Amino acid sequence: MRRLSSFLSCALFVIGSAGCGSSPASPTTSTAATNSYALTGLLPAAVNGVPQSQSQAFLLGQGATVLLRLTSASEAMLDGTTLSTVAVGLGLGTVTNGVCTVLPGAAVTASYSADVQLTFAMPAGNDCVQVSDVTVQQGPVSYTITLTY
């Protein structure tokens, strides 16, 4: 009886171990691929008191939820100092005839943050990110945005 018990314990261990490999035969869950891009640019200073904006286009092969995060923004002040707490407008839109039109509900005012600042379901096609001056900036703002979908 003791020998049968030992045999059954070993058999159960071997059978149980066979299912514990690092690559299961059929996964039970799957994750979608994530695309992430760093967009960099230089937002011009206000011209004669008129805030400026800049846009960058991107192409989505199919509709997707897009996440934006302002990973850096630094305004070069006229006295040579740098302001790293500058706020800018971030918007997601579509491109028509070379013009970026921000979609309703797809814009926020943001400062540098480790957190996602804008999430929006974008259509397939020619889309864009718009960065805009919201404070009538004295100097140009160099920025980096992480775009993920």
Helices marked H in 19-142: none
Q: Which two tokens stand for residue 73?
A: 């923004």
What the block records as the tokens of 123 is 């259509």
pLDDT in tens, the chain (149 residues): 444 344 334 333 333 333 333 333 333 333 455 899 999 999 999 999 999 999 999 999 999 999 999 999 999 999 999 999 999 999 999 999 999 999 999 999 999 998 999 999 999 999 999 999 999 999 999 999 999 99
Cite the beta strand spans of the chain per DSSP E. Answer: 36-43, 53-60, 64-76, 82-83, 88-96, 99-110, 118-122, 125-133, 141-148
Q: Where are the domains of the chain?
A: 35-148
Cα separation of 69 and 115, whole Å? 6
Q: CATH for 35-148, among 3.40.50.2300, 3.30.465.10, 3.20.20.70, 2.60.120.380?
A: 2.60.120.380
Q: What is the pTM of this model?
A: 0.76
